Amino acid sequence: MSQERRYSFEFFPTKTEAGHDKLISVARQLATYNPDFFSCTYGAGGSTRDRTLNTVLQLENEVKIPAAPHLSCVGDTKAELRALIGEYKDAGIKRIVALRGDLPSGMGMASGELRHASDLVQFIREETGDHFHIEVAAYPEMHPQAQNFESDLKNFATKVKAGADSAITQYFFNPDSYFYFVERVQKLGVDIPLVPGIMPITNYSKLARFSDACGAELPRWVRKQLEAYGDDAASIQAFGEEVITRMCEQLLQGGAPGLHFYTLNQAEPSLAIWNNLQLPR
């Protein structure tokens, strides 16, 4: 897209053929909105490596939207990472989302030759120069495993200085947390675009469970209103759409350089917000 702001959608690789067919169908629908790119997640310890690779190549080559694979370093050797990065480069992929990643349950302490996302960013730069636009993750409300907010900010700045081009945030529901994070890291010398990650609200129980696990604060007033709707899916969706649309308006008016939608492999919730905001197509 030609405008300064950028808009993107995220998918997760599915375990079944039917799920994959639905993902590609959703991607084709979203592609009509001309997003800047699609991203595709990478399971803990590289558990979805092949599915991520295949999904990214199909999005890039068949759906015709630039695709960015997530790549994590925990649990992988440099040789494994080098081979995968080389495969993406040879396939013409131009963007990577570089993450530390999570270990599958039961694997204990972090393993692999690269322990931090900053190490992975530096490794990609050493291996491929400027071939890839490297995205990294940002946590406006602090990474759930960080010692404290100050150390988390410094770790993020280190990751950026290792060679990141831009960042996508964990989703949040308090715009002030985003603006405060941006202000703090800018004082540490960070000047790359920090794009807010947006999670549409469609299911209260799943959202509450996921938010608790990843450290995203679900405001009490939102939680209580969603609880009050019970099993009324239509009211939950309408309320969620209104809340997220208003938040996105605040973010864009405050200078956010775009939006990154966590689709959960669904088109309608993200597109409802896109249309409410009258974003360009």
How many angstroms separate the Cα of 222 from the Cα of each of 6, 74, 218?
28, 35, 7
- As a whole number of angstroms, the distance between CA 162 and CA 107 comes to 28
For 109, counting Cβ atoms within 10 Å of its Cβ (0-12 exposed, 13-18 middle, 19+ buried), the class is exposed
59 close to 13: Cβ distance less than 8 angstroms: no
What is the spatial distance between Cα 159 and Cα 150, in angstroms, rounded to a whole number?
A: 14
How crowded is the C-beta side of 3, counted as CA atoms within 13 Å? 11
Candidates 4, 10, 126, 227; catalytic one: 10
Q: Is 40 helix (H, G, I), strand (E, B) or coil?
A: strand
42-74 b/e (C-beta count within 10 Å ≥ 16 → b)? bbebbbbbebbbebbbbbbeebebbbbbbbbbb
Ordered strands of the 194-195 beta sheet: 194-195, 166-169, 133-138, 95-99, 67-72, 37-40, 6-11, 258-262, 197-198
Radius of gyration of the chain (CA): 18
Instruction: For residue 269, give the nearest of 29, 41, 18, 56 by alpha carbon.
Output: 29
| Amino acid, res. 136 | V
Residue 10 among the catalytic residues: yes
Catalytically active residues are 10
